[in-house]
């Protein structure tokens, strides 16, 4: 039987023993017909298009540029004074998404600068989200906002689903949705099944990793077999992004750890076992 949703391999956290351009083929060999990526910008668009074509995959999601990641920045959407840089990032993201057929882009709000009040950071974020959503809407794309837990990432402005949903409601933009990362949600609010059921119409993408450790489902406390069945019962028809860090960090560790799918009665292409 086929589920209504399918799994996508996050190529920023999986198969990292090889360069990004080679991870598409490894994900396809593992059974994934969909992939996602945090930041594709290190590769030319043509190279990604060729990798997708050769592997018969679709790219379902990537992030807007998020500032200087190597220096510790985790998004600039809430940083006053950097609005022009944010808008340039939106255009850069679209320059990848449109030719690659990516239907949605994710925005990281960022860590609030210490010299900026929460009210000012939120006001900046609202204006940047409005700009990005309207730019994407002209091309029929969705904009997502992802809460990141503030235990792992201290000071992240939007650190729980309830904050993101309040922001989505306040802005009232027709193509602004929640990206629900189960790992981050578990760390901050829990109540996973009820939250998914209550807010599913406003959730455009789901990501998974277990807690603690952010490794494969089945390595921690979250009952993923139940959650996958729950998503089927609710009719979720999007992708479930595998954005975990394999417990086996040696070369080939991602592939060796992929048994969690069968253990949960699933295959990467969305079939139930």
Cα radius of gyration (the chain): 18
DSSP, res 259: G
- Reference 109, options 120, 119, 118, 122; nearest CA is 122
Provide the β-strand partners of residue 208. 242
Degrees (nearest 5) of the Cα angle 7, 169, 116? Answer: 95
Is residue 243 among the annotated active site residues?
yes
- Reference 79, options 42, 109, 50; nearest CA is 109
The catalytic residue among 146, 191, 216, 221 is 146
Does residue 108 contact residue 149 with C-beta atoms inside 8 Å? no
The CA–CA distances, whole Å, from 72 to 25, 26, 79, 241 equal 30, 29, 14, 24
- Reference 151, options 73, 240, 72, 212; nearest CA is 212
Residue that the structure tokens 């009719």 belong to: 235
Is residue 146 among the annotated active site residues?
yes
User: Strand (E) positions, the chain?
Assistant: 6-10, 34-37, 58-63, 104-107, 142-145, 176-181, 203-208, 239-242
- Reference 270, options 101, 9, 32, 27; nearest CA is 32
| Catalytic machinery residues | 146, 243
């Amino acid at each position: 039987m086929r589920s209504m949703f399918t799994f996508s391999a996050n190529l920023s956290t999986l198969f990292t023993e090889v360069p990004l351009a080679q991870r598409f083929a490894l994900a396809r060999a593992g059974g994934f017909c969909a992939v996602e990526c945090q930041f594709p910008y290190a590769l030319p668009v043509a190279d990604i298009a060729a990798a997708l074509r050769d592997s018969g995959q679709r790219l379902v999601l990537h992030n807007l540029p998020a500032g200087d990641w190597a220096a510790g920045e985790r998004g600039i959407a809430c940083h006053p004074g950097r609005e022009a840089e944010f808008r340039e990032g939106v255009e850069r993201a679209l320059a990848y998404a449109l030719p690659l057929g990516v239907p949605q882009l994710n925005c990281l709000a960022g860590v609030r600068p210490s010299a900026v009040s929460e009210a000012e950071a939120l006001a900046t974020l609202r204006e940047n989200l409005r700009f990005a959503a309207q730019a994407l809407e002209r091309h029929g794309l969705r904009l997502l906002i992802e809460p990141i837990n503030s235990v792992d990432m201290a000071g992240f402005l939007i650190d729980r689903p309830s904050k993101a949903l309040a922001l989505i409601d306040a802005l009232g933009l027709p193509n602004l949705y929640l990206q629900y990362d189960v790992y981050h949600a578990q760390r901050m609010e829990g109540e996973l099944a009820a939250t998914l059921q209550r807010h599913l119409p406003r959730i455009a993408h789901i990501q998974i990793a277990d807690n603690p450790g952010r490794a494969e489902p089945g390595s921690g406390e979250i009952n993923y077999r139940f959650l996958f069945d729950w998503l089927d019962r609710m009719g979720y028809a999007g992708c479930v992004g595998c954005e975990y860090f394999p417990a086996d960090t040696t070369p080939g560790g991602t592939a060796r750890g992929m048994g969690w799918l069968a253990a949960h009665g699933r295959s990467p292409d969305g079939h139930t076992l």
